[in-house]
Structure 1
């Protein structure tokens, strides 16, 4: 496997180099550079299998580099020290990442995943989803929902609701059908924050766009446009009502 490292911190590049030499001696580092422009030249010259890419570089964002490359025929692992919107966009696009400062265990988990599955078609889908999410930094637009057999690229506007099923989350879509993902609803609550999906109950997320009415009786519940009734927790009732009010001004 051929690897390119793009990060403006030489200490980070050196750490990745040492970890690769120590744990993955069969991997060949073909370039280690510090900017978008250098990275772009190295990509065209060397054609890597795997790219370690810093989110923020001196001459631009790492995301901008990926926009220039077509097709995406390599695996990407993002490097970032910032837990902010960009990291959320990476997560919902189902792309791999490591946080600075990173330890060897975290690094090896990301590397093992990259070595096991280098699927260029899947990576292309993930990058396309990331590009769309980065166009508008206020609202996430699409999410990758991975199942055993497929990567589902779903617009947030298509999701009516999501419900917890043990350690799984089931998404109900406006176009019909459901998608079950092996991740907890708590994770998706965090990932989809600010996207219009709101937590209304321990076991339920609801897309505010599909709320038909809030029914006060029986402890309070939401009647959705697909005909379903979703309970609202007492401790979340004020936030839910406020979210409904806020959606009227969007």
Structure 2
């Protein structure tokens, strides 16, 4: 059983989450519920949970402040929140799980199973630390969590040269010449990296503009990168790529 606490300022959200958990995730053992950060801190200290379901916006402070107050965090966290673009972007960069209200049972089951794997592997807390570091330093480039089978690497967007789709996975090529296969789609990387100078050149390719050396005119246009890689530019993306390179 996974020792679990819920922290959310609305009682009806507690009831609904407990109902869905009982139907989809029998391995979850709910030890207590809190309505605010102070109550949540007491629950955490008393029960030493393995998993926390955490709302972001609450009276008296937000979920991120709660995490700061219990450093070092020794539990996995699944955020449960209404839509908040900034918060969700930060959570995605750290490769953490979040659920939008009202909670979808299938998404909840998947998130709990992933948390269970992290609890067994004991490396998920690195991602929480990356999230808090990114939130503390909004002027700096955030660190992106790149989880693979046996570890999690943290890189700045500027260290990524390009990304290449492999079905529902993505190969990430770094400036040091290394390559990682990550369980995220290229569409997810495109959404995360668009504001950091990345260009979608093709349905299978995403490129960091700072590593583009030249545009080669052939039968089909190709970007030559500083590492010598040639990346195709599709007709559909050509206009956007040319505009992005100006």
Aligned to 2:12: 11
Deviation, 1:216, is: 4.3
Aligned to 2:178: 177
Alpha-carbon displacement from aligned partner over 1:201-245 (angstroms, at most 9, x marks no partner): 111101122122333454432222212222222222222233233
How many aligned residue pairs are there? 245
SS at match of 1:51: strand
Query: 1:147 and 2:148 equivalent?
Result: yes
Aligned to 1:114: 115
Alpha-carbon displacement from aligned partner over 1:20-74 (angstroms, at most 9, x marks no partner): 3445556432321222232223222332111000122222221121122222211
Aligned to 1:69: 70
CA distance in 1, matches of 2:25, 2:179: 40
CA distance in 2, matches of 1:226, 1:87: 33
> For the Cα contact (< 8 Å) 2:198–2:208, is it kept in 1?
yes
Alpha-carbon displacement from aligned partner over 1:183-203 (angstroms, at most 9, x marks no partner): 332232223232322211111
SS at match of 2:99: strand
SS at match of 1:222: strand
Instruction: Give the TM-score normalised by the residue count of structure 1.
Output: 0.86
Alpha-carbon displacement from aligned partner over 1:49-107 (angstroms, at most 9, x marks no partner): 11000122222221121122222211111101205232132223221221111132322
Aligned to 2:159: 158
Aligned to 1:237: 238
Q: CA RMSD in A?
A: 2.4
CA distance in 2, matches of 1:165, 1:118: 28
> For the Cα contact (< 8 Å) 2:93–2:142, is it kept in 1?
no
Aligned to 1:40: 41
The runs of 5 or more residues in structure 1 that have no matched partner are 246-250
Aligned to 1:167: 168
Deviates more, 1:217-226 or 1:92-101: 217-226
Aligned to 2:212: 211
> For the Cα contact (< 8 Å) 2:123–2:151, is it kept in 1?
no
Deviates more, 1:122-131 or 1:235-244: 235-244
The runs of 5 or more residues in structure 2 that have no matched partner are none
> For the Cα contact (< 8 Å) 1:140–1:192, is it kept in 2?
no
Deviation, 1:167, is: 3.3
SS at match of 2:196: coil
Q: 1:140–1:34: structure 2 CA closer, same or farther, 3 Å change rule?
A: farther
CA distance in 2, matches of 1:25, 1:168: 30
Aligned to 1:248: none
Aligned to 2:187: 186
Q: 1:179–1:225: structure 2 CA closer, same or farther, 3 Å change rule?
A: same
CA distance in 2, matches of 1:81, 1:139: 26
CA distance in 2, matches of 1:117, 1:41: 24
Deviates more, 1:133-142 or 1:185-194: 133-142
